[in-house]
Amino acid sequence: MRIANAPVSYGAFELTVGIVPNVPDADRVLDAIAEAGYDGTELGPLGYLGKGELLDGRLRRRGLALAGAFVEIRFGTESLGELERTLDSIAGHDAKAVLCDKGPREGEVDLTAVSEAAELVRARSFEPTFHPHLGTRVQTPPEIERVLAGTDVPLLLDTGHLRAAGGDPLAAVREWGDRINHVHLKDVREGVFCELGAGEVDLAGVVAALDGYAGWLVVEHDWIPKPGEEPDAQIEAQARNRRWLREHAGV
């Protein structure tokens, strides 16, 4: 398995880029990811890491691979235009298309629409994965079970979101392991995401239970910069997260 991080760990995601003035730029984030010893990164907001040759060059110079690209869709009511643009942006990379329902938590997700999105991804020669996420129509174990039973879309295991939604990440590996093709490693304490090993998730147990898994483990440690707050402490936290995985999970 390979270990990645993501721009969201450094304060760069859809709710901050272009909105919060002190989000670190793409080069600083990619430098931090490479220097901490990660093998890759997820894409972050469209355009943040660049597109085409700019994106390719930034990754190549640092020896990083692209692990995945996150797409929010209100399945059943929105077009797949954002998904198409995302697939365009990751052309040439062996990255997962991370499909996520868009909140709010009203009603049930349209499984036919989820399947249609997955088929579009496959038609473009990418592999889809479905991300259960807090605040969406798929966050709890029963909601995840419904998606697994009603579609053939592989599953993204997000240890933090699942734990915060009342699930057991270790049990999830045991029960859904044959459907898991992408992993977001998060720790959580009293509903707040925290550094690896500082929370309630048995992360070492999860990694051990993923025996034979050959995909990405993506460390995510969501951070929203406060006004005037510099990213230095968060950059150091991501280096500690990488060391924690080596020392406590053997990866």
- What DSSP letter does each residue of 167-222 carry, written as one string? --HHHHHHHHGGGEEEEEE-EEETTEEESTTSSS--HHHHHHHTTT--SEEEE---
pLDDT value of residue 172 = 98
Helix axes 26-35, 52-62, angle to 10 degrees: 30
User: How far from 92 is each of 58, 95, 110, CA to CA, in Å?
Assistant: 14, 9, 30
Residues of the chain with pLDDT under 50: none
Delineate the domains of the chain, giving CATH numbers in brackets.
Answer: 2-249 (3.20.20.150)
Whether 155 contacts 181, CB under 8 Å:
yes
pLDDT value of residue 227 = 87
Q: Is the pTM of this model over 0.85?
A: yes
pLDDT value of residue 236 = 98
